[in-house]
Amino acid sequence: MKILLDTARIEVIDEMMTYFPIAGFTTNPSILAKESSHVGTTLTELRRLAAGGKMVHIQVTADTAGGMLEQAKQLNDFFGGDFYAKIPMNIQGLKAISLCKAEGINCTVTAIFTPMQALTASMAGADFVAPYVDRLDNITSDGVNVVKEIVNLFNRHEVKTQVLAASFKNMQQVYDVASTGTHAVTVSGELCKKFLFHPYTDKSLEDFKSDWAEKFGNHEITDLLSL
Ligand code: E4P
């Protein structure tokens, strides 16, 4: 399963990329409006961070299929590499997918709330679909189960479209979605860091340290190689 960071906070990505196995980045217009004071600079920074082969999924803001295609082309030229135009799940978006695919532009269809939307986007040629787990939970529609149904449908129909589950507010959602066999998840930096820690892990590591120090003092293991 690929893990992407759903943020436009460059300092968070920069720091996390030094240790976390991040496959790429996603943003949407709300994230950029909230987290970026200069979109051009943020996108340039994301391009720099993606240069080592990371995926970048950036949402178009146009309302018409023609406008989405035009923006997707410009963004694709700007990012190069493993770029995906995030296209909204609506009629104009569906038109835009085939236009983008004809130009060789990868597409991620976003704001997916039902398995049939996902299957339709897949048939239109989407490379990824992005179901919104927490937003589904907030309307008592069981986001994890929707992702599971989409994964099952895609497996049953042997489609190439991958599932990039999005909109997470807690680790249980991410864990449950991971168990469905989703291809990818996109999560905030804050939530991603929560994957790493457990107090018993810290306690175990402290115990190793004190057991070692009690017997061997300040020696490191490599100091003892030749003794
Ligand atoms: C990513 O593709 C989505 O835009 C994003 O995860 C939505 O998350 P939210 O529901 O927390 O806004």
* DSSP-derived secondary structure for 29-62: HHHHHHH-S-HHHHHHHHHHHHTTT-EEEEE---
Give yes or no: 54 in active site.
Answer: no
Mean pLDDT of 192-201: 95
Which amino acid does the sequence have at 203?
K
Alpha helices (H) along the chain: 10-16, 29-35, 39-50, 65-79, 91-102, 115-124, 133-137, 143-157, 171-178, 189-194, 199-216
Q: Which residues line ligand 1 (CB under 6 A)?
A: 6, 26, 28, 30, 110, 130, 132, 134-135, 166-167, 186
Contact between residue 49 and residue 13 where contact means Cβ atoms under 8 Å apart:
yes
Tokens of 227: 């003794």
pLDDT tens, 69-87? Answer: 999 999 999 999 999 999 9
CB 174 within 8 A of CB 194: no
Report CA-CA distances (Å) from 140 to 94, 136, 166, 181. Answer: 27, 6, 17, 22
- Cα of 212 vs centre of ligand 1, distance in Å, is 46
The tokens 């080592």 sit on which residue? Answer: 52
Indicate the SS3 state at residue 119. helix
Task: Check 86, 169, 193, 194 and give the catalytic one.
Answer: 86
Q: Which atom of ligand 1 is nearest to the CA of 135?
A: 10
> Ligand 1 pocket: which of 31, 58, 108 to mutate (most atoms <8 Å of CB)?
31
Report the C-alpha gap between 115 and 108 in whole angstroms. 15
Query: What confidence tier does 184 reach under pLDDT thresholds 50, 70, 90?
Result: very high
The protein residue with its alpha carbon nearest to ligand 1, atom 6, reads 167
Q: What is the pTM of this model?
A: 0.95
Q: What is the tens place of the pLDDT at every residue in 129-144? A: 999 999 999 999 999 9
- Closest CA relative to residue 177, chosen from 110, 111, 169: 169
Please report the pLDDT score of residue 107 as a whole number: 98
Q: Within its chain, how far is the Cα of 226 from the centroid? A: 48
Category of 24 on φ-ψ map: left (φ > 0), alpha (ψ -120 to 50) or beta: left
User: For residue 227, is pLDDT > 70?
Assistant: no
If phi > 0 it is left, if psi is from -120 to 50 it is alpha, else beta; for residue 48 that is alpha
Low-confidence winner among 39-43, 48-52, 160-164, 209-213 (lowest mean pLDDT):
48-52
C-alpha 198: how far from its chain's center? 23
Quick one: CA torsion of 201, 178, 162, 89, rounded to 10 degrees? -110
